[in-house]
Amino acid sequence: MTMTRLFRTSAMLGACGAALFSAGTAGAAVSVFQSDLAGFNLAAGTPTVAIDFESLSDDIAGTTVSGVTFSSPDGNTLEVVTGASTSTPGGFSGAPNPATNVLIPTSGSKVLSPGGSLLVPGPALGQKDSLRLDFTTPLKSFGLDILHQSFDCCTFVSYTIYNANGVIASGGITGGSGGGGVAAGTSFFGVTSTDGDITRIVFTDNDDNDEFPDANIGFDTLRFGAKPTTPVIPEPATWAMMIVGFGLIGAAVRRKAATVSAQR
């Protein structure tokens, strides 16, 4: 086989390989799961709970735990407290119920409560519950539970998801039901990325007034991990290129064999 022919055949194989790789990565996407833990687990392969706050205490703003760095965009404290210690003080313009409007843990007894145990009304800094999470290693899946002081129809909380190049998804956190004064509740939020490129998630608390409810949120039960790898199935065009490449190799081998036989 001449060098020219060998080069051409190698180039064709390279093109086939590149097309196969492209077919496997072209469908990368981000999926968000709100109040759908079952769907998230199905898509993400049921990631284990990585952080439940049980071994932590006090203010963890600026701290990295299990590859997650916690910070407050508002400059608030990020305090780990027991759910039982949270309470609703007076000062809201609505009708708070200290017995039912608390932060309910979803694993163990502790929660992450920006501003601390006292769930104060806005516009005090202690009510500004935004949370930024930066991941040491990019993730394919991430989920947590959001704890609502009062789980009514509207949370006034939004999310923004980033990779190394910028924003890849954003939107609002859906609420529960009922009007002002409903009891506390929890909701699940999860995200998966087929590229495995989630580097940061920011939850923004947009409710900074003293209107009850919607005044405070907390967080619990962080879970993250790799989504099971789906085998790459080449597209028809990719199969065609591969067949052409293999055909060229076969033809070259046959020509070389015929030449050798004729020279004997």
Convert the pLDDT of each residue in 126-148 to its tens digit: 999 999 999 999 999 999 999 99
Categorize the per-residue pLDDT at 179 as very low, low, confident or very high, splitting at 50, 70 and 90.
low
Q: What is the mean pLDDT of the chain?
A: 81
Convert the pLDDT of each residue in 73-116 to its tens digit: 999 999 999 999 999 887 777 777 888 889 999 999 999 999 99
Query: Residue 244 forms beta bridges with which residues?
Result: none
Give the angle 254-255-259 at the CA atoms, nearest 5°.
Answer: 120
For residue 13, the model assigns a pLDDT of 36
Burial degree of 258 (CB within 10 A; 0-12, 13-18, 19+): exposed
Convert the pLDDT of each residue in 39-60 to its tens digit: 999 999 999 999 999 999 999 9
- Residue 95 domain-assigned? yes
Q: What tokens appear for 181 in the block?
A: 């004064």
Domain count, the chain: 1
In sequence order, what are the residues at sequence separation of 6 or more whose Cβ sits closer than 8 angstroms to the Cβ of residue 34?
Answer: 173, 174, 187, 188, 189
**Nearest to 80, CA basis, from 111, 37, 47, 39:** 111
Give the CATH number, domain containing residue 191: 2.60.120
Distance CA 72, CA 154 (A): 22
Give this prediction's pTM. 0.76
For residue 259, the model assigns a pLDDT of 55
- Residue 259 domain-assigned? no
- Residue 249 domain-assigned? no
For residue 103, the model assigns a pLDDT of 96
- Residue 170 domain-assigned? yes
Q: Is 192 left (phi over 0), alpha (psi -120 to 50) or beta?
A: beta
For residue 137, the model assigns a pLDDT of 95
pLDDT greater than 80 at residue 8 = no
Helix (H) or strand (E) holding 49: strand 49-51
Query: What range defines the domain where residue 50 resides?
Result: 27-225
- Residue 161 domain-assigned? yes
**Nearest to 230, CA basis, from 20, 17, 19, 25:** 25
- Residue 240 domain-assigned? no
Query: Beta strands of 75-206 (E only): which ranges?
Result: 78-82, 110-114, 131-139, 141-148, 154-163, 166-174, 185-193, 198-205
- Residue 258 domain-assigned? no
- Residue 120 domain-assigned? yes
Distance CA 234, CA 54 (A): 46
Q: What tokens appear for 188 in the block?
A: 């699940």
